A and B are shown apart, each in its own frame.
Chain A
């Protein structure tokens, strides 16, 4: 099983600042199968980034994804008030899906 580790656990930032979230895998993950989700309190997760770097439909261009192999990054260029949420990375491999533990982006 591929284990995903996300850091930091919590990121305290102000609106307008840049957020950089890390997702590290215990084994190599194909970029095709690395996905990011956003979850707000009381809501289901929302697809954000797929294929490590492609934005899902309707996702603003301030969100970007990058990385390959075992290290992936989600960047929010300028935080908007609605971006404060928990972000999860997810991978698929060998007919198994795993999620990272999440990074909470909170208002400083």
Chain B
């Protein structure tokens, strides 16, 4: 059974970097059929795709983040990670990692709440 688990600090100071990891079990991040993604959801609001990564390291991002996001993959640990730079209160959200298969998100982690404090 495929499981994804997000991990990282729940509190980040404004202007600093938010760093999260997603550990994949039951599948390999080196799968040639899948991308791996980060999606976020501010409290009480809708979903926003942040970006996607392939096992080779190929990435694509939501341009609305204005290049503040970097996603990387570590095949040896079967993990992928998100770094979001220069965070503000607007980056406070539940952050989900998910598997992207043929342009849909079929398996999601449980999500992790990240609060940006001033």
Count of A-B contacts with CB under 8 A?
50
Taking the nearest CB of chain A, how far is it from the CB of B3, in angstroms?
12
A99's partner among B46, B98, B110 (CB-CB below 8 A) is: B46
Q: Once the chains are docked, how many angstroms separate the CA of A4 from the CA of B73? A: 30
Chain B, 25-81, CB within 8 A of any chain A CB: 46-49, 52, 60, 62-63
A33, A45, A56, A92: residue with the most chain B Cβ atoms closer than 10 Å: A45
CB <8 Å contact, A44 and B111: yes
CB <8 Å contact, A44 and B60: no
Taking beta carbons and an 8 Å cutoff, which residues of A are in contact with B?
Answer: 1, 32-33, 35, 37, 43-47, 50, 56, 88, 90, 92, 95-102
CB <8 Å contact, A50 and B104: yes
Q: What number of B residues sit within 8 Å (CB to CB) of A?
A: 18
B47's partner among A45, A46, A92 (CB-CB below 8 A) is: A45
CB <8 Å contact, B108 and A99: no
Residues of A within 8 A of B49 (CB): 96-99
Taking beta carbons and an 8 Å cutoff, which residues of B are in contact with A?
Answer: 46-49, 52, 60, 62-63, 96, 98, 103-106, 108-111
Question: Taking A44-B96, A44-B111 as contacts, is the C-beta distance between A99 and B106 under 8 angstroms?
Answer: no
Q: Once the chains are docked, how many angstroms separate the CA of A102 from the CA of B44? A: 11
Taking the nearest CB of chain B, how far is it from the CB of A8, in angstroms?
15
CB <8 Å contact, A95 and B47: no
B52, B103, B105, B109: residue with the most chain A Cβ atoms closer than 10 Å: B103
Residues of A within 8 A of B105 (CB): 35, 37, 45, 47, 90
